Structure 1
Amino acid sequence: MEYNEKPESRINPRLESDTPQIFRTLRNIDLNLLTIFEAVYVHKGIVNAAKILNLTPSAISQSIQKLRTIFPDPLFIRKGQGVTPTAYATHLHEYISQGLESILGALDLTGSYDKQRTITIATSPTVGALVMPTIYQTIKDKFPQLLLRNIPVTDVGLQLSQFQTDLVIDSSVYSTRALSHHVLYSDRIMMVARAEHPVFKTSHMQETLSQYEFTLLMMEGAAHTDLRKRVNEMFPERQISFSSYNLVTIAALIGSSDLVGLMPARFFRLFARCWPLQVVDFVPLRDESVDFSLHYNKLSMRDPVLQSVITAIRQAF
C-alpha cells in the first residue's frame, strides 16, 4: 500500500491572506452610510429618508455621494420626485438589509427582536438536577426563542463579573457589590442514613449518633460558616471518615454503608429514588435550613431579555 505524503490541502486557503484586506475595506465604510442607503432604498427618496432619520436632505445626498465613491455604481437615479435604485443597488440591498437585521438581532437593545439567544446558567450538578427542569419549562413557555446552557460553578465572582455566565444558582452568599441575588427557595437540613441503619433501632438518638462516622460535603470559601458552626456544636465529637465535593457520591456512600450525613430535603427526596435512604429525625436539626439563590451581575438588569428571564425564574419558584 502506498503512503501519500502530500500535505493536507487547506480549506479556503485565501482566508488568512484576505482577512487584513477585509478589515481595511470595512474600516473605510461607515455603518451610518449603509443605514442611509437602506433608508433611501426602502423609502424611495432622499427627502423621505431624511425625515425618517431626522437628517437634512443635503446630509443624505452627501452620504449617497460618498457611497458612490466606494461602489462602482451611481446606486440611485432621479425619477420624478424620488429616486429609483439601480440593479447594483438592488443587489447591495439584499445583503445590507440582512446584515443590519443580523446586527440588530445580536445586539437586541430593546429585547423586542424574536431571535435565538443562549442564556448560560451555572450550577453544581446536583443543584442543576433540581432546578433546571423547572427553569427549562418556564423559559420554553415564556421565551421559546431562547436556548439554555448549563455550566459548572467554579468562581462565582469571576464568572459573573467577567460575564462568563449570565446567572448562577447555588446556596452560597456573595458580598461583592457588583453582584445581586434573590432567594429562590429555602430547604430544611436533614440527617440521612440508609434504611436498615442500626441508628433506627434505638431510642437514645443523641448518644447513639456519636458512635457512627459522618460524611462531609466540602465547600470552598466561607460558605455556610454559621450553619457549620451550629452543626459542630450539635456534634462536638463527630468523626468525619469520608468527605467529597460531590453530594451524589456522598448519597451513594450513605446508601451502602453505616455512614451518616446531612443534606437539604429536596436532595434527599431526589437521592431516595436511587438509594435506600431514610431521614434520621434529629430534633436539634428541625429548625436548620439553607437558602438557594439566583445570583447575577447588577449590570445584567440593563439587558431587557435577561431581566425578563430573571423575573420569570423568580416567579417559577
Structure 2
Amino acid sequence: MDPNEFPAKRLSEPGGEAKPQIFRTLRNIDLNLLTIFEAVYVHKGIVNAAKILNLTPSAISQSIQKLRAIFPDPLFIRKGQGVTPTAYATHLHEYISQGLESILGALDLTGSYDKQRTITIGTTPSIGALVMPIIYQAVKASAPQLLLRNISIGDGETQLGQFQTDLIVDSNVLNTRALSHDVLFTDRLLLVCRKQHPALSQTATVENLQKYEQTLLVLEGQNLNALRMRINEIFPERQVTFSSYNIFTIAALIGSSDLIGIIPARLFTLLRHCWPLEQIPYTSLNEETVDISLYYNKLSLRDPVLENVINVIRGAF
C-alpha cells in the first residue's frame, strides 16, 4: 500500500464522536507491543528481535502471544530458524511503521536538522512586516525543511516562559530572568507628514510644529516610559488628537490629512510605498532610537534546531 493512500484522519479532527472509544481502545493496548511487533517483522525472527531490543526470546514470544489475543490473526508463522509474517501482519506493518516514524519525527530526540518542524515567532504586525521577510529568507537558506509560523504578541514574557512561542521579536524589553535577548537592529525616529503638507515649506521649529495636531502610536510596556518622556520634552505642548496601536492605521491617516506623527525610520521606508508620506527633518527627534530585539527562553538553547535558528537570525541582521 502506498503510504500516501493511508487514511488522513486525525484524533484532533472535529466530529470525533468516536474519540472516547479510540482512547479506551488505545489504553487497553500496551504500545510497547507494537515496537516488539516491528522488531520481529523487520528482523524476521524472535531471537534477532530479542538481541536488538535487549530482551529475552521468552519475553518476545510472550508479547507476540499478547498481540495474537488483540488481533484476529497469528501474525507470524515459524519458518526454518525464523518466522514469516502473515498477510495480516504485513498489513499492520504498513500502518505501525508509519506511525512509529511519525512519533519519532515529532519527538526529534536526536535534534536532527533534516526533519520538518514548525518554528513559531511572535511579532507585532508592523515589526513582523519588517523582520519576517529577512528571517524567512535566512532560515530557508539554512534549514529549508523548517516551517515558520508568525503569531501576535500578547504577554511576551508568558508566551516565552510557557513555551507558547519559540521566539519573539519586539521593541519592548522583556525582563524575566528566564529569557535572553539579542538586539537585531536599532532604528531612529522620524517626524512624518503627508506629501505637500504645509509644514514642509516652513522651518521645523517647536512653535511652527505646534500648529499641527499629532498622532500617537500606543505601545504597551514600562520600558518605553523613558522614551515617551523624552519625546514629551521635545514636543512639550503637542496636541494628540488620534492614537492607535496600529502603525499602518496611523500611516494611512497621516497620508490623508494634516496630522503629523512619529514613525521609526525602517517602517517609514516601508510605509511610504503605500501612502504619500514625507519626512520632516527634526534633529532632536532623529537622535532618539528604539531597539528591535530577538527574545527566547534560555532553555531553548538546549534544542539544537532552535539554537541554529537563533544563530541564523542573529547573522541575518
Q: How high is the TM-score relative to the length of structure 1?
A: 0.85
Partners of 1:296 and 1:85 lie apart in 2 by 49
Q: Secondary structure at the match of 1:233?
A: helix
- Kept in 2: contact 1:109–1:303 (CA 8 A): no
Deviation of 1:96 (Å): 0.8
Q: Which is worse superposed, 110-119 or 247-256?
A: 110-119
Please state if 1:253 is matched with 2:239: no
Q: 1:240: which partner in 2?
A: 240
Q: Secondary structure at the match of 1:262?
A: strand
Deviation of 1:190 (Å): 1.4
Please state if 1:134 is matched with 2:134: yes
- Kept in 1: contact 2:113–2:143 (CA 8 A): no
Q: Secondary structure at the match of 2:268?
A: helix
Deviation of 1:115 (Å): 4.5
Partners of 2:241 and 2:94 lie apart in 1 by 69
Cα displacement string for residues 114-135 of structure 1 (whole angstroms, at most 9, x for unaligned residues) = 4543333222221121112122
Q: Secondary structure at the match of 1:65?
A: helix
Point out 4+ residue stretches in structure 1 off by more than 6 angstroms: none
Q: 2:5: which partner in 1?
A: none
Cα displacement string for residues 146-165 of structure 1 (whole angstroms, at most 9, x for unaligned residues) = 33332222222333334433
Please state if 1:275 is matched with 2:278: no
Opposite residue 281 of structure 1, the aligned amino acid is: P
Q: Secondary structure at the match of 1:296?
A: strand
State the identity as a percent: 71
Deviation of 1:15 (Å): 5.7
Q: 1:19: which partner in 2?
A: 19
Cα displacement string for residues 167-226 of structure 1 (whole angstroms, at most 9, x for unaligned residues) = 222111111233332222111111222332333333462432233322110112314111
Partners of 2:204 and 2:127 lie apart in 1 by 34
Q: 1:208: which partner in 2?
A: 208
Q: Secondary structure at the match of 2:222?
A: coil
Q: Secondary structure at the match of 1:225?
A: helix
Q: Secondary structure at the match of 1:185?
A: strand
Deviation of 1:109 (Å): 2.4
Deviation of 1:311 (Å): 2.3
Please state if 1:285 is matched with 2:312: no
Opposite residue 129 of structure 2, the aligned amino acid is: A
Q: 1:187: which partner in 2?
A: 187
- Kept in 2: contact 1:217–1:250 (CA 8 A): yes
Opposite residue 168 of structure 2, the aligned amino acid is: V
Opposite residue 234 of structure 1, the aligned amino acid is: I
Q: Secondary structure at the match of 1:149?
A: strand
Cα displacement string for residues 280-305 of structure 1 (whole angstroms, at most 9, x for unaligned residues) = 22222233211111223334334333
- Kept in 2: contact 1:199–1:205 (CA 8 A): no
User: 1:1-317 maps to which residues of 2 (within 5 A)?
Assistant: 16=17, 18-112=18-112, 114-203=114-203, 205-317=205-317
Deviation of 1:36 (Å): 1.4
- Kept in 2: contact 1:117–1:146 (CA 8 A): yes
Cα displacement string for residues 221-241 of structure 1 (whole angstroms, at most 9, x for unaligned residues) = 314111112111222222212
- Kept in 1: contact 2:173–2:221 (CA 8 A): no
Partners of 1:275 and 1:261 lie apart in 2 by 14
Q: Secondary structure at the match of 2:314?
A: helix
- Kept in 2: contact 1:105–1:113 (CA 8 A): no
Partners of 1:48 and 1:113 lie apart in 2 by 31
The root-mean-square deviation of aligned C-alpha atoms, in Å, is 2.4
Partners of 1:202 and 1:20 lie apart in 2 by 73
Cα displacement string for residues 19-66 of structure 1 (whole angstroms, at most 9, x for unaligned residues) = 333322211222221111111111112232223223333332332233
Opposite residue 149 of structure 1, the aligned amino acid is: R
Q: Number of matched residues?
A: 303
Q: Which is worse superposed, 33-42 or 140-149?
A: 140-149
Q: Secondary structure at the match of 1:224?
A: helix
Gap change, CA 1:275 and 1:86, over 3 Å in 2 = closer
- Kept in 2: contact 1:117–1:147 (CA 8 A): yes
Deviation of 1:247 (Å): 0.9
Partners of 1:145 and 1:84 lie apart in 2 by 37
Partners of 2:20 and 2:200 lie apart in 1 by 74
Deviation of 1:266 (Å): 0.3
